[in-house]
A = this chain, B = another copy of it.
């Protein structure tokens, strides 16, 4: 870092999320460049005026020279390869990721002995489309961006990651990796699973059912339009947490089925579901203040605040 200039950002993987980070970082005044494995992806980003290359050695060499914050934006199945490259070319750079599941990423980072400068991250934004073409600098505006406060995280890289998230227009949710994974199983991975199941039932009704489908079906199946490989890359690494919530969902649905069959009633399901949606509609973020990265017990304090719905809206 040189004086007041914003530190550099190096994005590995310029698909929907990574590409949007690159766009948002440049828009926020960061010196930022990226790597993409596929040549068509590289060409598309370059055509839009961004500094993207398929030469991972050159991209990471520049990151090492410039002490860039490296942002890993590849799908989880490609993570090990990318971590090997980071270990080879830029092992001392601060490192984060924007992958949907945090505990498996943390484990992989430690396997590659890159834990010292690593802070996991996950911006809660997306569309059912993918690739550079779907990326936009506004994707994170107003979104929550989960940032790990696991034991051992260092204040310097944490602050760099948080500043980038804030610079992209997000608010920061401090969270333990394991608690993050349980939460997103509920609000991100289960919605994918249910959307797929609903889409299957709708199409099972043929042209008549699809022709009668209106808003509830359209919205309920929206994310089933996501490429299957991407849904799998998001959900499968979180199998443990997803299995737990999926088992509970099966219990809730089976209880509703039994109640409808035996007493003609959906009272319990509809009351509980309505109350739950009301919890969501009335949920309000509150601003975490007065906890500075590096202060005594800051990681545990941030984890506790995040657990209660607190977000960081600005850093001093």
Residues of chain A having any CB pair with chain B under 8 Å: 124-127, 143-144, 146, 173, 175, 179-180, 182-184, 186-188, 190-228, 231-232, 235-236, 239, 242-243, 245-250, 252-254, 256-257, 260-261, 264-267, 269-281, 283, 285, 306-309, 311
Contact = CB atoms under 8 A, between A and B. Distances in A.
Nearest to A306: B208
B199 A186 contact: no
Contacts of A182: 205, 209
B227 A216 contact: no
15 contacts: A127-B215, A143-B214, A144-B211, A175-B212, A182-B209, A184-B212, A190-B201, A191-B219, A201-B252, A203-B276, A216-B223, A228-B273, A232-B266, A242-B260, A250-B250
Given A224-B274, A227-B274, A271-B228, A203 B253 contact: no
A78 B231 CA distance: 44
B283 A265 contact: no
B208 A179 contact: yes
B269 A212 contact: no
A313 to B, nearest CB: 13
Nearest to A225: B277
A250 B242 contact: no
A197 B239 contact: no
Contacts of A307: 206-208
Contacts of A232: 265-267, 270
B228 A274 contact: yes
A204 B222 CA distance: 23
Contact of A193 (B223, B226, B261, B266): B266
Given A217-B280, A257-B247, A205 B224 contact: no
